[in-house]
Amino acid sequence: MNLILQGGRLFDPASGRDETGDLVIQEDKIRDLGPGIAAAGPGVLDCRGLIVCPGFIDLHVHLREPGQEYKETIESGTRAAAAGGFTAVCAMPNTHPVNDGAGATAYLIQRAKEIGAARVYPVGAITQGSRGEALAAIGAMRRAGAVALSDDGRPVMNGQILRRAMEYAARFGLPIVEHAEDLNLSAGGVMHEGAAALRLGLRGISAESEAAMVARDILLAERCGARLHIAHLSTAASVRLVAAAKARGVPVTAEVTPHHLTLTDEDIRDYDANFKMNPPLRAAADREAVIAALADGTIDAVATDHAPHAQHEKAQEFSRAPFGVIGLETALPLVLRLVAAGRLTLRRALDALTARPAQVFNLPGGRLEPGAVADVTVFAPQETWVCDPARGFSKSRNTPFAGQTLAGRVRHTIVAGRVVYSAG
C-alpha cells in the first residue's frame, strides 16, 4: 500500500531539508522524497500549503492505564497523541500498579499496537513500586521493550539508590529520567515560591528544590558514566547546571514542557487548579531561561508531561487538587507561538519535537529520509483554532489553555505509513 504526500513543505530538522515537494511512502517506510517525484493518483494526500515533517515524539506522557482509566486510557491517550501530531509517546510508569516489570511493559506495547493510533514506548520504574528502595527488574523491562527508567511523579530521594540504578542501567544503555525535586525543600508546596505565591497565600515550591536535585544527579551521572535525562526542567538554576555539565561532557539531556515555555506563576488566576502542575509554573526569569536554553540546545526536547485528571479532582481547593495538566493536543501551537515571537527557529522547534527526542531515548523515527520509518506529521502552521477541551480526544479536560486561540493545527498524522488522524 502506497501513500503520497503531495506538494507540501518537506521539513526535516535533522538534515536541514526545507523544500516544496512530495513524499512517497511504501508500506511502513519512506521510499523517496523531493520536488516533483510523484504524480497525482490514488493514495494521494494534498499537502499544498502544509508542513510535512517527521512525526512528533513525546518523551513524557501519563496514560493512566492500568488503574486510573477514568482519567485516561491507552486508547484515549494515544488518540490524543495522534491528534496532536505525536506518532510516538513514552509512557511514564506511575500507573496503578506501577510499571516495574516485564509484564506491564509488554502489555503497554501490545495494547498500543492493537489500537494503532500512536506508538507507545514504555518507561520502566527505577525502583520497585517507585518506592525508592529496591531496584525494579531493569533487565527484564529492557528485554520487554522499556526505553528508559524513571520513578516520575517523585524523585529517587535516596542518592545511593539512584547511584546504584545509574551504575546498573549503564550496562543496558538505558537513560535514567529524573523528576528532580528535593521533597524536603518542596514539602507542602503547591505553586512556585515567589511573590505570586505570597499574594495568593499558597505554599511555595522553591526553584532550589529542583536545582539542588539536578546538581546531585549530574554529579552522580558524571561519576557513573550513566545517561541522565532531566524531566520537565523548569528553572534558570537548573539550566545553568545542565549547561555546565554538558560543557564538561557529562551525558546529560533535558526536556521542557510547552506550559513552562508559555506561562508563569503570575498567570494563575482565581485559584484555578488547571494551572497547578509539578514542577509549577515558574517566575518570568525562569521562563526566559528555559526558552533560551531550548533555542541553544541546552534543553534538548519539548515533552508535554501530559497528565490527565478528572474534572471533579481539579474542581477542588487549589492545594487539594492533584498536580498536572494535559498537553498532547496543544503542544504544537504553543511551540509555534515561540517561533512566531522570534524566540525559536522553526527548525529548532521541530527538531525539539522530532529528531532530538528520538536521539535522547535512542528511538526510531524523527527523520524524513528514504528508508526511515514512515512516521510523519502534516500541519497547517497558520491555521487558528480555539482550544475547547470538551472537543479533545483525551478523556480529561485539565488544560490552562481552554478558550485560547491557538495558531498551528495538525492536519494528518501518519504512523508506519497509515493515516491515524486527519483533522475533520
Indicate which of another protein, Zn ion, none lies near residue 269 (CB less than 5 to 8 Å, by partner kind). Answer: another protein
Q: Does 269 bind another protein (CB under 8 A)?
A: yes
Query: Which residue stretch of 31-39, 113-121, 169-177, 315-323 sits at the interface with another protein (rule: CB under 8 A)?
Result: 315-323
* Residue from 305, 351, 375, 388 carrying the catalytic annotation: 305
CB 155 within 8 A of CB 178: yes
Q: Does 114 bind another protein (CB under 8 A)?
A: no
Give the x-and-dash track for 135-164 against Zn ion (CB under 5 A): -----------------x------------
Q: Is 305 a catalytic residue?
A: yes
Closest CA to 242 of 306, 304, 180, 184: 180
Shortest Å distance, C-beta 188 to another protein = 9
Shortest Å distance, C-beta 271 to another protein = 3
Shortest Å distance, C-beta 196 to another protein = 9
Q: Does 277 bind another protein (CB under 8 A)?
A: no
Q: How large is the C-alpha radius of gyration of the chain?
A: 20
Q: Does 70 bind another protein (CB under 8 A)?
A: no
Q: Which is nearer to Zn ion, 180 or 218 (CB)?
A: 180
Listed in sequence order, the residues at least 6 apart from 363 whose beta carbon sits closer than 8 Å to its beta carbon are 57, 88, 121, 147, 357
Question: What is the CB-side half-sphere exposure of residue 330 using CA atoms within 13 A?
Answer: 29
Shortest Å distance, C-beta 395 to Zn ion = 20
The backbone region for 362, taken as left when phi is positive above 0, alpha when psi lies in -120 to 50, beta otherwise, is left
Site for another protein in 173-202 (CB under 8 A): 194-195, 198-202
* Neighbour tally for 28: CB within 10 Å: 14
Distance CA 264, CA 195 (A): 12
Distance CA 23, CA 16 (A): 16
Listed in sequence order, the residues at least 6 apart from 339 whose beta carbon sits closer than 8 Å to its beta carbon are 345, 346, 349
Q: Does 276 bind Zn ion (CB under 5 A)?
A: no
> Rule CB under 8 A: which residues touch another protein?
194-195, 198-203, 269-271, 312, 315-320
Q: Which are the catalytic amino acids?
A: 305
